[in-house]
Amino acid sequence: MRLRLLAGLFSLLVVLGLPACAGTAAGKDTLYRDLGGEQGIDRLVETFIRKVGRDERILPYFARASVSHFREGFTTHLCQVSGGPCTYDGDSMPDIHTGMQIDEADFNRVVELLVEAMEDNGIAYPVQNRLLARLAPLRGEIIHI
């Protein structure tokens, strides 16, 4: 139930156009640190990849993907989005997802898998929500019906 609420919140953040940058303390970005820095993001991405690999509904979207390329790109992207010392210079979200025919239900399922991965890694709910708020603006660049 909580996963559906978070997926709904993720979509709602996009619709309402809330700022993507939340969770700063006295002007200093702490999300990267709160995710566990480089090691924490690496663990999160590994857990997420395992979950995707076991999900019969979502795995077909990754059938032609290089796991190592995805791991590197997603890790760098999460590092940058969370305020870490990384710069994502990979393909744009529309370039990656155009032609994949990702619908809202499948997009929400991927969000659920990410939330499950964060829970498995002991990431606190407020930290999860801050990361989701930063990723929410990408929704429109990923869903192509």
- Annotated binding residues for heme, written as ranges, equal 97
Tell which phi-psi region holds residue 27, choosing left (phi > 0), alpha (psi between -120 and 50) or beta: left
Tell which phi-psi region holds residue 21, choosing left (phi > 0), alpha (psi between -120 and 50) or beta: beta
Residues in binding site? 97
Token pair for 112: 């659920």
**Beta partners for 24?**
29
- The CA-based angle 114-85-107, given to 5 degrees, is 20
